[in-house]
Amino acid sequence: MTDATSQGGARPSGPSTRLTAADSRTKKRNASEKRFRAYGLAAIGTGLFFLVVLLTSIISNGSTAFMQTFIEVPVYLDPEALDPNGNRDPADISKVSTFGYNPLIQNAVFEQVQDKGIATDYEDAGDMKALISASAAAQLRDRVIANPDLIGETVDFQILASSRVDGYLKGRVGRDSITQDRNIDAGHLDIVDALREDGTVHKSFNFAFITGADASESRPEQAGLGVSMLGSFFMMLVVLFLALPIGVAASIYLEEFAPQNKFTDFIEVNISNLAAVPSIVFGILGLAAFIQFAHLPQSAPLVGGLTLTLMTLPTIVISTRASLKAVPPSIRDAALGVGASKMQSVFHHVLPLAMPGILTGTIIGLAQALGETAPLLLIGMVGYIATNYPEGVISGFMSPNSAMPAQIYEWAKRADPAYYERAWGGIIILLVFLLVMNVIAIVLRRKFERRW
Amino acid sequence: MQSVKLAASALAIAAVSASAAAARDNVQVAGSSTVLPYASIVAEAFGENFDFPTPVVESGGSSAGLKRFCEGVGENTIDIANASRAIRAGEVETCAANGVTDIIEVRIGYDGIVFASQQTGPEFTAFEPSDLYNALAEQVLVDGELVANPHTTWADFNGDLPDVEIAAFIPGTKHGTREVFEEKVLLQGCEDTGAMEAMVAGGMSEDDAEDACMAVRTDGKSVDIDGDYTETLARIDSNPNGIGVFGLAFYENNTDKLKVATMSGVQPTTETIAEGEYPVSRPLFFYVKKAHIGVIPGLKEYAEFFVANEIAGPNGPLANYGLVSDPELADTQSKVSNEETMGSNM
What residues of chain B lie within 8 A of the CB of A238, using their CB? 10, 13
Tens of pLDDT along A16-29? 567 778 888 889 99
Contact A311, A372 (CB under 8 A): yes
Interface contact flag, B320 A180, Cβ < 8 Å? no
Using the Cβ of B54 and the Cβ atoms of chain A, whether some distance falls under 8 Å is answered with yes
Topology of domain B25-110+283-337, per CATH?
Answer: D-Maltodextrin-Binding Protein; domain 2 (3.40.190)
pLDDT at A351: 92
Indicate if the pLDDT at residue A10 is higher than 70: no
Q: Please report the sign of the dihedral spanned by the C-alpha atoms of residue B232, residue B237, residue B242, residue B244.
A: positive
pLDDT at A316: 94
Asked if the domains B25-110+283-337 and B112-281 are classified in one and the same CATH topology, the answer is yes
What is the average pLDDT across B244-268?
Answer: 89
pLDDT at B322: 84
What is the average pLDDT across A81-101?
Answer: 82
A89 — pLDDT class (breaks 50, 70, 90): confident
Choice among A9-18, A93-102, A369-378 with the minimum mean pLDDT: A9-18
Indicate if the pLDDT at residue A15 is higher than 80: no
3-state SS record for chain A: CHHHHHCCCCCCCCCCCCCCCCCHHHHHHHHHHHHHHHHHHHHHHHHHHHHHHHHHHHHHHHHHHHEEEEEEEEEECCHHHHCCCCCCCHHHHHHCCHHHHHHHHHHHHHHHHHHCCCCCCCCCHHHHHHHECCHHHHHHHHHHHHCHHHCCCEEEEEEEECHHHHHHHHCCCCCCCCCCCCCCCHHHHHHHHHHHHCCCEEEEECHHHHHCCCCCCCCHHHCCCHHHHHHHHHHHHHHHHHHHHHHHHHHHHHHHHCCCCHHHHHHHHHHHHHHCCCHHHHHHHHHHHHHHHCCCCCCCHHHHHHHHHHHHHHHHHHHHHHHHHCCCHHHHHHHHHCCCCHHHHHHHHHHHHHHHHHHHHHHHHHHHHHCCCHHHHHCCCCEECCCCCCCCHHHHHHCCCCCHHHHHHHHHHCCCHHHHHHHHHHHHHHHHHHHHHHHHHHHHHHHHCCCC
B2 — pLDDT class (breaks 50, 70, 90): low
- CATH number (3.30.70.260, 3.10.20.30, 3.40.190.10, 3.90.1200.10) of B112-281 reads 3.40.190.10
Q: What is the dihedral of CA A273, A276, A280, A285, to 10 degrees?
A: 20
What is the average pLDDT across B302-311?
Answer: 92
CA atoms within 13 A on the CB side of B100: 29
Instruction: Tell me how far apart the alpha carbons of residues B304 and A59 are, in angstroms, rounded to a whole number.
Output: 44
Tens of pLDDT along B11-59? 545 544 444 444 578 899 998 888 999 999 999 999 888 888 899 998 8
pLDDT at B17: 47
Indicate if the pLDDT at residue A442 is higher than 60: yes
Complex ipTM over 0.90: no
Instruction: Among A218, A245, A385, select the one facing B317 at the smallest CB separation.
Output: A218
- CATH number (1.20.120.1460, 1.10.3720.10, 3.40.630.30, 1.10.1330.10) of A226-448 reads 1.10.3720.10
pLDDT at A79: 85
For an interface test with A, the pick among B46, B54, B80 (most A C-beta atoms closer than 10 Å) comes out as: B54
Choice among A28-32, A88-92, B135-139, B221-225 with the minimum mean pLDDT: A88-92
Choice among A81-95, B2-16, B227-241, B262-276 with the minimum mean pLDDT: B2-16
Give the residue extent of every domain in chain B: 25-110+283-337, 112-281
Using the Cβ of A162 and the Cβ atoms of chain B, whether some distance falls under 8 Å is answered with no
pLDDT at A21: 80
Instruction: Tell me how far apart the alpha carbons of residues B320 and B326 are, in angstroms, rounded to a whole number.
Output: 14
Choice among A343-347, A415-419, B77-81 with the minimum mean pLDDT: A415-419
Interface contact flag, A398 B28, Cβ < 8 Å? no
pLDDT at A370: 93
Comparing CA positions, the residue from B162, B124, B127 lying closest to residue B266 is B127
> Which residues sit opposite B262 in a β-bridge?
B126
B4 — pLDDT class (breaks 50, 70, 90): low
Residue B127, H or E segment: strand B126-127
pLDDT at B42: 93
What is the average pLDDT across B163-182?
Answer: 85
pLDDT at A380: 84
Tens of pLDDT along A145-182? 888 888 888 889 899 999 889 999 988 888 888 877 87
At a CB cut-off of 8 Å and minimum separation 6, what does A8 contact? none
Instruction: Among A141, A395, A412, select the one facing B230 at the smallest CB separation.
Output: A412
- Contact pairs from chain A to chain B, CB under 8 Å: 150
Mean pLDDT of chain B: 85
Question: Could you tell me the maximum CA-CA distance found in chain B, to the nearest angstrom?
Answer: 84
What is the average pLDDT across A118-131?
Answer: 85
Using the Cβ of A341 and the Cβ atoms of chain B, whether some distance falls under 8 Å is answered with no
pLDDT above 90 covers a percentage of chain A that reads 48
Indicate if the pLDDT at residue B256 is higher than 90: no
Question: Residue A322 to residues A259, A303, A319, A357: CA-CA distances in angstroms?
Answer: 18, 29, 5, 8
Q: What is the pTM of this model?
A: 0.83
pLDDT at A30: 92
Give the residue extent of every domain in chain A: 65-205, 226-448
Instruction: Tell me how far apart the alpha carbons of residues A103 and B315 are, in angstroms, rounded to a whole number.
Output: 14
Distance between B312 CA and the closest CA of chain A, angstroms = 13
Comparing CA positions, the residue from A403, A370, A12 lying closest to residue A227 is A403
Interface contact flag, A387 B252, Cβ < 8 Å? no
A366 — pLDDT class (breaks 50, 70, 90): very high
Angle of the B2-20 helix axis to the A226-252 helix axis, nearest 10 = 140
Indicate if the pLDDT at residue B251 is higher than 80: yes
Q: How many CB atoms lie within 10 A of CB B92?
A: 18
CA atoms within 13 A on the CB side of A214: 39
Instruction: Among B58, B255, B320, select the one facing A385 at the smallest CB separation.
Output: B58
Selected residue with higher pLDDT from A185 and A16: A185
Interface contact flag, A217 B3, Cβ < 8 Å? no
Comparing CA positions, the residue from A387, A402, A364, A62 lying closest to residue A229 is A402
Using the Cβ of B39 and the Cβ atoms of chain A, whether some distance falls under 8 Å is answered with yes
Interface contact flag, A387 B44, Cβ < 8 Å? yes
Indicate if the pLDDT at residue A8 is higher than 50: no
pLDDT at A172: 85
A13 — pLDDT class (breaks 50, 70, 90): low
A405 — pLDDT class (breaks 50, 70, 90): very high
pLDDT at B344: 56
Q: Which of A378-382, A423-427, B149-153, B194-198 is most confident? A: A423-427
A452 — pLDDT class (breaks 50, 70, 90): low
Cβ within 8 Å of A, B 92-121: none
pLDDT at B168: 92
pLDDT at A28: 92
Instruction: Tell me how far apart the alpha carbons of residues A273 and A287 are, in angstroms, rounded to a whole number.
Output: 21
Indicate if the pLDDT at residue A38 is higher than 70: yes
Q: How far apart are the first and last CA of chain B?
A: 67
Indicate if the pLDDT at residue A121 is higher than 80: yes
For an interface test with A, the pick among B1, B2, B3, B32 (most A C-beta atoms closer than 10 Å) comes out as: B3
